[in-house]
Chain A
């Protein structure tokens, strides 16, 4: 199975459009395809595919919960927490500030009295939609207010990989969030190939360099998809491609028809664009 990711630092450049087009194209070629929307903060692929999210499965993380009967107010938990999520004053029970907690478990490992228990909390959900006989969509969605979304990405991707292996899929296509921090890194890891989607504007060029630096660190072969290729100046993008020893492998022209197809959930008729 090939794992192919669609990514880019800048938002709104067409990452999801490209990921969906690629999935539809491979499906049209009679391949078995699983598309996994790893933009768990703002998942949009299901809207583009005109789907209603189905088959929800909760995603949990374990957060600390104090058992006051066992706690001896020693403060070791607060000292072990590197996120300053535990507030402790001598002689008092520790207070857990869950907004700052990353659920790493340092507190329950360091507690000598087993006074910190684990409480399962739902941090998000994953969904599976059968879009066609040979195309499935996995969607991750974080609960609003949850700060650390990397673990949610990791879990939905794990579920998608397991499913893709079970059905013997030919392709797993990953659509990432914009940006370049942990939620994007988790989505990109283990990809066989990355497509960095961008636009021919100074913003697109600036952001392309950032994502290419990241994929270089990740050591994953990366090629460029230039969206709205005919709108701005392609030369700057070509220069960057050369510097990173890669190329623009796909160009998508600006097209009002594409925008309309995107908005109405009918991208299928546009697959020949890529």
Chain B
């Protein structure tokens, strides 16, 4: 069973909720938590992890490289590059690796065979055992590198290697490449939002993706008491898809400052999250 936590908008409480659900689930089933936000892997912090055990550098991206001995600076490559990554500086061809996507179009048109496409180490995979006796897999895309979606796919493959019943995926913000890679193939999506117009709008954006892949889902309203009017509006919109609501509590900030999972605190949200957890299990049960 694969459960993904997503939201469209960032900072609405995805990782906080994902860590709490993982902890609750770990008391009943064998689970793996998988942080799919490779730009900002923060799930570990919510589970008290600041340093990682296994670090494996990976390569899910390729870039073009010029062989200066063969290059005659004919500029054919620069004309066809779809990413504008090839420039001419002082009469010489230069490839800007920040823009190069490794598509190989330059290599196809080069008359001298002067361009090679080579894999680059663009990120890493970290595997940890949390204090709560379940593994956390997380990845990191190195700054300025490309291929975040492919790192997410690699993370998901690694998660499958564990002998587990439930995997909780914590997605990145947005609805593009790494999010699509996180959401695709999930059995259930927990969509988090807040009662502010932007988060409500972004909920509808992520819903378009979830519906595109036909994934069953439930909605959670975080900090619902910050604006009861918009919260009611979201509730009406969610209808039976509403999994529950979480209050605003300053203690949650203290939790992250002390690297303590929310669920182990005495915050009033613990009961609310437990209710959400039960409701989610019902929904998943319904499906099976």
Q: Chain A: residues with CB nearer than 8 A to chain B?
A: 9-13, 16, 39, 41-42, 44, 47-48, 80, 82-83, 102-106, 109-110, 142, 144-149, 177-185, 189, 201-203, 206-207, 210, 213-214, 217-218, 231-233, 259, 262-263, 265
- On chain A, the residues within 8 Å of B179 by CB distance are 41
- On chain B, the residues within 8 Å of A144 by CB distance are 175, 205, 208-209, 212
* In contact, B253 and A231 (Cβ under 8 angstroms): yes
CB distance from B143 to the nearest CB of A (A): 4
Given contacts A10-B40, A180-B143, A259-B226, contact A104 B105 (CB under 8 A): yes
User: Which of B45, B117, B143, B257 lies in contact with A206, CB distance below 8 A?
Assistant: B45
| CB closest chain-B residue, reference A211 | B143
* In contact, B42 and A11 (Cβ under 8 angstroms): no
* In contact, A142 and B176 (Cβ under 8 angstroms): yes
Given contacts A144-B212, A210-B40, 13 further A-B contacts (CB under 8 A): A44-B9, A44-B201, A82-B103, A104-B101, A106-B103, A144-B205, A147-B176, A149-B176, A180-B40, A181-B39, A202-B256, A207-B42, A263-B197
- On chain B, the residues within 8 Å of A83 by CB distance are 103
Given contacts A41-B8, A104-B103, contact A203 B256 (CB under 8 A): yes
Q: Chain B: residues with CB nearer than 8 A to chain A?
A: 8-12, 15, 39-40, 42, 45, 62, 80, 82-83, 98-99, 101-105, 108-109, 117, 141, 143-146, 148-149, 172-180, 196-198, 201-202, 205, 208-209, 212, 226-227, 230, 253, 256-257, 259
* In contact, B177 and A213 (Cβ under 8 angstroms): no
| CB closest chain-A residue, reference B103 | A104
Given contacts A11-B12, A109-B109, A202-B259, contact A177 B141 (CB under 8 A): no
CB distance from B90 to the nearest CB of A (A): 18
CB distance from B153 to the nearest CB of A (A): 11
* In contact, A109 and B143 (Cβ under 8 angstroms): no
* In contact, B196 and A178 (Cβ under 8 angstroms): no
What CA separation (Å) do A232 and B103 show in the bound complex?
Answer: 44
User: Which of A11, A82, A103, A104 lies in contact with B11, CB distance below 8 A?
Assistant: A11
